[in-house]
Amino acid sequence: MAKLLYNRKDVYMKSYDPFNMSKPQSEFVKIRNGAYLFVPDFFDKAKSDYYFNDLIKNSEWRQEEILIFGKTVKFPRLTAWYGERPYAYSGITHEARKWTDTLLEIKNEVEIRTQSIFNSVLLNLYRNGNDSISWHADNEKILGDKPMIASVSFGATRRFQLRHNATKEKIQFELGHGSLLIMKGELQAYWQHQVPKTKKEVEARINLTFRTIT
Ligand SMILES: O=C(O)CCC(=O)C(=O)O
Ligand SMILES: [Fe+2]
């Protein structure tokens, strides 16, 4: 990105939390077919501000497109892929960029918390409320069986929803500045997730999902 277009005025937003999910947790919460751990203030505000500014400026953002019924449709968000191997995702092969110091620093903190090693990260930039990711599961074969996915968010708070494939139960989180959400177990096989568009005036948000490609 040539110029920094998505400056935010105020990064910290307290937001609506209908299921009161934003309480700090130190243990995984077991749900039907999976488990999650949500840590709203994993990184403090100063660190989160620093990471947001660094990542928005220095990541190799691109807007990818897919072919749907012969029409090219642009992704409603920007993405960047870092790690050790290329990764096929939504019909696209991401060429992996080399880890930056910032990404390695964040990865290290996440690895200590999860006691796991990750070899890839997908960055998503939601420029405003019109950007989104629709219902999907991170269940690609190369992620292995029962993958652990660690999701770190910086910038504007956006709603993240999980929906069980069979029962249609929903769990939702307000993923705020500096938060960490870990999903594990069979969750990706039985649940889908999304970040819906919002009509609210929201500034940019960056999300990083750390993954292990086998
Ligand atoms: O932005 C988020 O919180 C989720 C991103 C996501 O689900 C993905 O990249 O697979
Ligand atoms: Fe995902």
Q: What is the CATH number of the domain that holds 116?
A: 2.60.120.590
Pocket of ligand 1 (CB under 6 A): 122, 124, 133, 138, 151, 160, 175, 193, 195, 207, 209
Min mean pLDDT across 24-38, 103-117, 120-134 is at 24-38
| Mean pLDDT, the chain, integer | 88
Give the phi and the psi of residue 166 in degrees, each rounded to 5. Answer: -95, -50
The verdict on residue 2 lying in a domain is: no
What is the residue with the minimal CA distance to atom 1 of ligand 1?
207
Q: Which of 52-61, 88-97, 150-159 has the lowest mean pLDDT?
A: 88-97
Please check whether residue 75 lies inside any domain of the structure: yes
In a domain, 109, yes or no: yes
pLDDT at 15: 46
Contact assessment for residue 120 and residue 208, using Cβ atoms and an 8 Å cutoff: no
pLDDT digits (tens, 9 = 90+) for 67-83: 889 999 999 999 999 99
> Which residue's CA is the nearest one to ligand 1's atom 10?
138
Query: Does position 12 have pLDDT exceeding 50, yes or no?
Result: no
Q: What is d(CA 43, CA 51) in angstroms, rounded to the nearest whole number?
A: 10
Q: How far is CA 10 from CA 13, 25, 67, 75, 203, in A?
A: 8, 26, 36, 26, 8
Secondary structure class of 49 (helix, strand, coil): helix
Q: Give, as residue ranges, everything with CB less than 5 Å from ion ligand 2.
A: 138
Domain count, the chain: 1
Alpha helix (H) ranges present in the chain?
45-58, 101-114, 187-190
The answer to whether residue 12 sits within a structural domain is: no
At residue 164, the pLDDT reads: 97
Residue nearest atom 8 of ligand 1, based on CA coordinates: 209
For the CA of 153, the closest atom of ligand 1 is: 3
H or E stretch at 204: none
Q: What percent of the chain has pLDDT over 70?
A: 86
ipTM: 0.99
> Does some domain include residue 5?
no
Smallest-distance ligand from the CA of 89: 1
The answer to whether position 17 is within a domain reads: no
Q: Is 161 domain-assigned?
A: yes
Q: Which of 195, 197, 198, 213 to mutate to test the pocket of ligand 1 (most atoms within 8 A of CB)?
A: 195
pLDDT tens per residue, range 114-148:
999 999 999 999 999 999 999 999 998 889 999 99
Residue 56: domain span: 29-170+179-211
CA of 74 to the centre of ligand 1 (A): 17
Indicate whether 191 pLDDT > 60: yes
Residue 121 domain-assigned?
yes
